[in-house]
Amino acid sequence: MTSIARSQKKIPLPSRDQTRKYRLLFVCMGNVCRSPTAAGVFHKFLRQRKLDREFEVDSAGTHGYHIGEAPDSRTQRAAAARGYDLSAMRARKVTPQDLQHFDLVLAMDKVNLDNLRQISDPAQYAKIRLFMPFARNFDDDEVPDPYYGLGYGFDVVIDMVEDAADGLLQSLLTP
């Protein structure tokens, strides 16, 4: 993992329709570690800025391994230590309807980005992106999956997600 600051270049995003909520979907493989963390962090950032009524935030997985389950207990512990409550979230599998409904679909890694593109219409490709290019302090393109790793990986994921979530929010709010 590299901790090099990215350039502050604005990343073009699908336009925000000010008459309705902007809808974001965070996606990883099983929807029990990275994507619920990203959704929880982003939602808290919105609440802190009193913007939660302007956005709809959700998470899903490209695989149905954990449908209906709460986020991994290690993920929940690491998130709770930083003030994020993920306990109410439940894993679900992304659907083609999600790709129609959400304005921006953010994959945690390239494999899941490819999986999303396989179930999408080519016209939807522009709104399916990697999440980490929004980070300003990490040069990584992907959020690593901590599921099979050691405990510290969950803290690293939160570091990366907080950075990318802040950059994403700034990109969405800057005209």
pLDDT recorded at residue 16: 61
pLDDT tens by residue, 76-116 = 999 999 999 999 999 999 999 999 999 999 999 999 999 99
pLDDT at 175 exceeding the cut of 80: no
Catalytically active residues are 28, 34, 145
Topology (CATH) of 22-173:
Rossmann fold (3.40.50)
pLDDT value, residue 174: 86
Q: What is the overall mean pLDDT for the chain?
A: 91
- Can you give the residue ranges of every domain in the chain? 22-173
Other Cβ atoms less than 10 A from the Cβ of 69: the count is 14
Residue 63 has pLDDT above 50, yes or no: yes
Distance, CA of 116 to CA of 107 (rounded, Å): 8
112 compared with 20, residue with greater pLDDT: 112
Measured CA distances, 64 to 29, 111, 113, 156 (Å)? 8, 15, 16, 25
Mean pLDDT for the stretch of residues 137-162: 93
26-56 CB burial, b ≥16 within 10 A, e <16: bbbbbbbbbbbbbbbbbbbbbeeeeebeebb
Report residue 13's pLDDT band, with 50, 70 and 90 as the boundaries.
low
Q: Comparing C-alpha atoms, which of 67, 39, 59, 29 is closest to residue 146? A: 29
Q: Which of 169, 126, 142 has its CA nearest to residue 34?
A: 142
Confirm if 93 and 58 have CB atoms less than 8 A apart: no
